[in-house]
């Protein structure tokens, strides 16, 4: 079996490996790259030779992702099993609490505001990618989130609980590959946690992914999205946008603020 040898900071790879194991939910879930071996600062993964995406493979990914989300999480903002402490990210530490903890949040908006938006505002302000006015716009959205003004239902299969998220599901973390004579989409490089399923779907749309309409059709085939989800795509993209503003600066800061203005009330 061909392998891909990956090296990185040990803590980063340990978090990735914890997420990959948690996302591997078995038959029916979204395919996840297999870990063959690992050690301090390295991990061997199954090599995924590239293949051309197909409508069938995309729809199958959507159905699998819906079932992965529905596998659930103990609480909003929880980490994968066995993980302790903050998550190392290039945008700075991402706060998560332990997998088996109840967590401090009873509603999605609280979690999204306090874990996935507010921590990054001062960092983006400090690197100059947003100005004071932009910071106020983002804080206003965070206030509305925390107050519950922007809460909404999970997809049907997830129900009232937290979804089991990939957490960094941009198009580059979906690998189209050939397996057993058929094309399949396999997930790599997660930042897995408990959250709202629409956040993963919005991430897919942010920078583009092959055959997104087919992915969404497959998803809704087994787990219909709550009404109005199209109007919430930008809201769920804010966390990835503000992280990019922190990491890369440039146009990501103004773009983050522009999207946030839609939800500031």
Which residues are designated catalytic?
A: 168
Tokens of 66: 């819906």
* Residue 51 Cα distances to 10, 153, 210, angstroms: 31, 35, 12
Instruction: Find out whether 17 and 38 touch, Cβ atoms under 8 Å.
Output: yes
Residue 68 burial (C-beta neighbours within 10 Å; 0-12, 13-18, 19+): buried
Q: How far apart are CA 167 and CA 158, in angstroms?
A: 16
Packing angle, helices 233-248 and 132-147, rounded to 10: 140
Q: What are phi and psi of 200, to 5 degrees?
A: -60, -45
> How many C-beta atoms surround the C-beta of residue 204 within 10 A?
24
Assign residue 189 a region: left if phi > 0, alpha if psi is -120 to 50, beta otherwise?
A: left
């Amino acid at each position: 079996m061909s392998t891909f040898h990956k090296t990185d900071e040990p803590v980063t790879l340990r978090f990735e490996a914890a997420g990959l194991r948690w996302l591997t939910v078995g038959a029916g879930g979204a395919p996840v790259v297999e870990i063959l071996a690992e050690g301090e600062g390295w991990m061997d993964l199954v090599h995924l030779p590239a293949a051309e995406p197909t409508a069938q493979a995309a729809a199958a990914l959507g159905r699998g992702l819906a079932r992965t989300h529905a596998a659930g999480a103990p609480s909003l903002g929880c980490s994968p099993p066995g993980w302790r402490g903050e998550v190392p990210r290039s945008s700075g530490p991402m706060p998560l609490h332990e997998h088996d903890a109840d967590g401090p949040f009873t509603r999605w908006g609280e979690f999204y505001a306090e874990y996935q938006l507010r921590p990054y505002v001062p960092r983006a302000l400090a690197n100059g990618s947003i100005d004071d006015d932009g910071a106020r716009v983002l804080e206003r959205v965070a206030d509305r989130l925390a107050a519950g003004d922007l809460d909404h239902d999970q997809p049907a299969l997830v129900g009232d609980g937290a979804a089991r998220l990939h957490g960094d599901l941009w198009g580059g973390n979906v690998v189209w590959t050939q397996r057993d004579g058929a094309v399949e989409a396999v997930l790599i490089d997660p930042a897995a946690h408990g959250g709202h399923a629409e956040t993963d779907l919005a991430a897919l749309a942010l920078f583009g992914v092959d055959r997104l309409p087919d992915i969404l059709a497959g998803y809704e085939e087994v787990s219909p999205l709550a009404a109005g989800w199209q109007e919430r795509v930008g809201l769920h993209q804010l966390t990835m946008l503000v992280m990019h503003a922190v990491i890369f600066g440039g146009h990501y800061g103004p773009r983050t603020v522009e999207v946030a203005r839609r939800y500031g009330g």
